Amino acid sequence: MARIKKKTKARPKPKRIKHKNSRPRLGLYLIAGLISILIMWALLHEPKDALQDTQALASNGITKDADAPSKGAKPKAEKTKTKTRAKNETKVVEEEKIEPVAVVKPVEKPKPKAGETELDLAIRTAADKLGVPAKAIKRKKSGEAIQYSVPIDRALMDLTYANMIFKGELERSGAALKSGTDDSNKQTLVFEQKGIPSQYHLVLYYDSSIYKGKTDHQTITIVVDDFGSIGSDLLDGFFSLDTQVCFAIFPGQKNSVLTMQKAQNQGRESLIHVPMEPIGYPRIDPGDNAILLQHTEAQIKRTLTQFITELPACIGINNHMGSLATTDADVMLSVMKTLKEHNKVFLDSRTTNVSVAYQTAQKAHIKAFRNDIFLDSPNINQSTMEAKLSRIIKLSKSQNHVIAITHCHNRDKLEYLKAIISRLKKAGFILIPLSEVGEYEVPEIL
């Protein structure tokens, strides 16, 4: 009997269990580590390079709108090429601000004194900016209110300008103006700050008595630029100014020689206003016969000699524009050599903060001066006047003499200048001509 085979189910093959590898995949970690190192290197090095580029741009672009083309300047089609400009091509900055802007270093903010708040510090800071003597400021506490009484010299600034400075400082410290009252001789402002229970009452009032004698021995020289094209009544109006005010005259214009002669007849000093190459030339045009970086020493000498021959009564020169030319030591040395031959002085208009003109003049033993402030920038409104007067007062604290430059373009500028001169005189400043400013000082190490 045949044996019948039983069908048996095939046993399933055991599944192979894949165990996760617990060991780290070293290759991936090495790649990730390398990428991390590269990222960290980039973070550490790239900002430094960017900062250096920014600083280089800033150092070549701190300029003023004294380099803006004047009304008397004519278009100039001459092309220029120079070995020096090549390194400045990528750093051209349009010259739009007239006032020299100091290179400001970071300064640590002072801390409040014992018992003071941030608002006390803000009030002291604003008062110092305005030249208010610390001993003249009165502080008293009445209940929950703290009152400051601050005297303002009417001859130097008005209450509205002082109000603006104090308000700005207090608001930067976190305070909010709650209310204010105003009359002809006093303004009261009330400030509050979250976290400070006391209200601060700031009383600004006119009192010039404490300022008497404060600037009795301060002197100022004012130079008015851009003469040569204006004439008639406007020119006569400027000649009505104090004879201590110096005029800077463009050479080669229709009234250049006439202006020099009238100034000489008045006993008024004058300068030749010499066009020099600005950053952005030729897009920004300094005018005819400008001194350019591409010029040789012989060309510079010929140009200056021509100007001096035309305007021989001028005691020296100052630069019109020149934010690039005055940074080139070779160009400035050529200028000073010619001035020395003719016994002329030099006034650096300081249309850039990196000018080497004044130092070069000193090394050449030329009597030299530096402009401290442009009076008519950015405009000639009342707030600008107050700001300029405040700046002059601040400068007078740290130096014996101030030199200021303005312009003669129209009658509004004439009236503006008259008002500034009147205010300065009331504040005790004495106008003196350029030649009476102290003798030059040659640095001990040149």
Q: Name the one residue in this structure whose structure tokens are 């010029």.
A: 295
Does residue 125 have a pLDDT over 80? yes
CATH architecture group of domain 214-436: Alpha-Beta Barrel (3.20)
**Residue percentage of the chain with pLDDT more than 90:** 56
Question: Which sequence spans correspond to the domains of the chain?
Answer: 118-211, 214-436
- The Cα–Cα gap between 275 and 285 comes to 9
**pLDDT of amino acid 144:** 84
Q: Can you tell me the distance from the alpha carbon of 446 to that of 443, in angstroms, rounded to the nearest whole number? A: 6
CATH of domain 118-211: 3.30.460.10
Q: Position 73: which residue type?
A: A
Asked if 110 and 123 touch (Cβ cutoff 8 Å), the reply is no
Higher-pLDDT residue of 310, 115:
310
* Average model confidence (pLDDT) across the chain: 80
Structure tokens at 206: 């006119």
Torsion of CA 228, 402, 325, 273, to 10 degrees: 10
Q: Which of 20-24, 154-158, 342-346, 386-390 has the lowest mean pLDDT?
A: 20-24
Which has the higher per-residue pLDDT, 95 or 220? Answer: 220
pLDDT of amino acid 214? 53
- pLDDT per residue as tens digits for the range 292-309: 999 999 999 999 999 999
Give the closest residue to 286 by CA, choosing from 67, 88, 85, 95. Answer: 67
**CATH topology identical between 118-211 and 214-436:** no
Please say whether the beta carbons of 361 and 368 come within 8 A. Answer: yes
pLDDT, position 282: 94
Q: In this structure, are residues 127 and 137 in contact, taking their beta carbons and an 8 Å threshold?
A: yes
Lowest mean pLDDT among 6-15, 296-305, 394-403: 6-15
SS3 string, 6-70, reads: CCCCCCCCCCCCCCCCCCCCHHHHHHHHHHHHHHHHHHHHHHHHHHHHHHHHHHHHCECHHHCCC
Asked if pLDDT for residue 357 goes beyond 80, the answer is yes
Max CA pair span of the chain? 157
Phi, psi (degrees; rounded to nearest 5) at 438: -45, 155
Say if residue 378 is preceded by a cis peptide, omega within 30 of 0.
yes
111 vs 338: CA distance, rounded Å: 53
Task: Kindly state the percentage of the chain with pLDDT values over 70.
Answer: 72
> Residue 12's pLDDT is what?
56
Rounded (10°) angle between helices 382-398 and 411-426: 40
Q: How confident is the model at residue 158 (pLDDT cuts 50, 70, 90)?
A: confident
Is-above-0.85 flag for pTM?
no
Highest mean pLDDT among 129-133, 217-221, 242-246: 242-246
Residues in the chain: 446
